[in-house]
């Protein structure tokens, strides 16, 4: 399935994030959500003197920029280690919440490797939990931008690391969406979706948004913990957290 091209970048997705738990302890919520969509090889939306307001830092993603090359270098090494080599002319796009006023917690960051025709060739889903760990999944997309991958990371104390994710992505000039559904033993366990329209952003837009919502990045972990407390109050079983290797983001 051919798409209609890529959006003008950098852009902001100003939409929603929705989670739903099925079966025991059924629960769901929808909240306003925004994120940047950027080309990792393109200039930063803010001039250097203003990047302390909002920025995407290598330290906040994957291998933390340990071997150089910034976030793009980490993504390239992660892909290459799994048999996907970036070719000349291919682009790396990133959908993420920026660190704003020194704070960030981005539960899901999405990286696309886009070929010279504008088609996504591979995708990396980087998941963060509230315990300070992160994990990255290589997702090999079909022509409908869908894929499946085994769950391997402890995100919530109410779910272990078994099951399989069904992933569906949308990336058009006007819209971006990421849908992840966890299946276990033929049963749908939970779904998570972030979706919204894309609007090109300027330095002025970034500064104005940061001033209007200075605590936006603190809201995400607070909401996660609040919904966790509600599930705990229902006496749902707690699964122990296993050790997690940092090699899984390299």
pLDDT (tens digit per residue) in 21-67 = 887 767 778 888 888 999 999 877 777 767 777 888 999 999 999 99
Do the domain assignments include residue 1?
Answer: no
Within a domain: 36:
yes
Q: Let me know if residue 6 belongs to a domain.
A: no
How many structural domains comprise the chain? 1
Domain with 202, as residue range(s), is 11-249
Does a structural domain hold residue 118?
yes
Residue 15 lies in a domain: yes
- pLDDT (tens digit per residue) in 110-130: 999 999 988 899 999 999 988
Terminal Cα-to-Cα distance of the chain (whole angstroms): 31
Over residues 139-171, the pLDDT tens digits come to 998 888 899 999 999 887 667 889 999 999 999
Q: Could you tell me how far CA 152 lies from the centroid of its own chain?
A: 16
**Cα dist. 163→125, 158, 215 in Å?**
16, 13, 34
> 230 lies in a domain?
yes
- Read off the tokens for 141: 């997309």
Asked if residue 22 belongs to a domain, the reply is yes
Residue 1 has pLDDT above 50, yes or no: no
| Domain membership flag for residue 95 | yes
| Mean pLDDT of the region 63-84 | 95
DSSP-based three-state secondary structure for 94: strand
Smallest CA-to-CA distance from 170 within 43, 62, 79, 37 is with 37
- Buried/exposed code over 171-206 (b: 16+ C-beta within 10 A; e: otherwise): beeeebbbbbbbbeeeeebbbbbbbbebeebebeeb
d(CA 95, CA 12): 9
Q: 218-238: per-residue pLDDT in tens?
A: 566 556 565 555 555 556 667
């Amino acid at each position: 399935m051919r798409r209609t091209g890529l959006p003008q970048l950098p852009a902001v997705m100003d939409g929603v994030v929705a989670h739903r738990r099925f079966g025991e302890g059924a629960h769901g919520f929808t909240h306003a959500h925004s994120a940047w969509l950027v080309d990792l090889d393109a200039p930063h939306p803010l001039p250097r003197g203003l990047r302390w307001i909002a920025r995407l830092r290598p330290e906040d993603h994957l291998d933390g920029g340990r071997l150089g090359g910034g976030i793009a270098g980490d993504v390239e090494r992660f892909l290459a280690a799994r048999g996907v080599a970036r070719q000349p002319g291919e682009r790396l796009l990133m959908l993420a919440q920026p660190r704003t006023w020194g704070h960030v917690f981005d539960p899901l960051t999405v990286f696309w490797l886009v070929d010279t025709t504008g088609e996504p060739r591979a995708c990396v889903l980087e998941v963060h939990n509230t315990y300070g760990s992160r994990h990255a999944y290589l997702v090999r997309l079909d022509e409908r931008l869908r894929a499946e991958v085994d769950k391997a990371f402890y995100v919530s104390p109410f779910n272990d690391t078994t099951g399989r994710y069904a992933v569906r992505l949308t990336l058009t000039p006007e819209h971006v969406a990421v849908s992840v559904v966890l299946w276990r033993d033929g049963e749908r366990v939970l779904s998570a979706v972030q979706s919204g329209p894309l609007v090109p952003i300027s330095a002025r837009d970034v500064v104005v948004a940061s001033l209007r919502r200075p605590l936006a990045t603190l809201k995400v972990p607070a909401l996660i913990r609040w919904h966790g407390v509600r599930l705990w109050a229902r006496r749902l079983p707690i699964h122990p957290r296993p050790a997690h290797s940092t090699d899984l983001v390299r």
